[in-house]
Structure 1
């Protein structure tokens, strides 16, 4: 009897290659993109300033005094991650969290002068990174690609929200 398992035919000296079942999965390719993006972000933009932190600083700059929960939604972070990001930015002296006068549970966010400086410096490097990432594409293709990425993100966020709603419903069998 002949062993037909993939490992029986693999050349032991060749490095493993991801199988088609994996490489054809959109989530696998998205994860690869994100891993590559994180690596180039750290080298190009700032190894201490993460993409989510940059998003928070950018949004607070545009809307100073926004509450932490609303900001989390605006930058696509869950509230616990947002609280952690805000705490880290506050610890670094880039962000100030103030308690809302009318509601002691709400935290309002403001950039510090150091936060303004760090954001200003990072913006140029982020534009440079964006240019490197999309530089081989024609301007019209860049617009199309951004539109498609946005549509995918919107669709996948909706799917995630629907899954969350369905997982919170009691089963039809009374469970």
Structure 2
């Protein structure tokens, strides 16, 4: 067949009751919602912050000083991911590190004045991202969605 790279014939199977449809699966729908959210985030947030950097900055502000390991757990990032995120935030001057006086293998993280300022500059944008992500939903639906997602996490 022209244009068919595998050489196989394309045949249409009749639709079956209960057939698997990827676009009806929760993972697919969550990924679509996340893609929409990330696109809004990228378009509205300043300082070229990523969603993971923003999560780390704002959670660090809440729990500092803390270890990199604990920050990773609190932001649902594995050890390799949080290390990369923290390294980039340190390089930008948003996060300071110091050895843990009780365990030299552990780094203690805290925000710098520049990190606090980056959060302050972007709080309104972060709130707008959330509002625009959830714009199609009523206030009750927003609460229900958050409650249900927390339940499956």
Find the aligned partners of 1:101 and 1:122 in 2 and give their Cα distance: 33
Find the aligned partners of 1:47 and 1:115 in 2 and give their Cα distance: 11
Q: How many residues align?
A: 140
Find the aligned partners of 1:59 and 1:34 in 2 and give their Cα distance: 20
Unaligned segments of structure 2, at least 5 residues: 1-8, 14-18
TM-score (norm 2): 0.84
Find the aligned partners of 2:115 and 2:47 in 1 and give their Cα distance: 16
Q: Which runs of 4+ in 1 moved over 6 A?
A: none
Choose which of 12, 20, 25 in structure 2 pairs with 1:6. 12
Q: Equivalent residue for 1:121?
A: 121
Aligned pairs for 1:1-175 (under 5 A) are 5-6=11-12, 21-46=21-46, 48-152=48-152, 154=153
RCO higher in structure (CA 8 A, sep ≥6): 2
TM-score (norm 1): 0.74
Instruction: Output one character per residue of 1:115-164: Cα deviation in whole Å (capped at 9) or x when no partner.
Output: 00001111110111111122332222211111112222x1xxxxxxxxxx
Which structure has the highest helix share of the two?
1
- Mean Cα displacement is larger for which, 132-141 or 98-107? 132-141
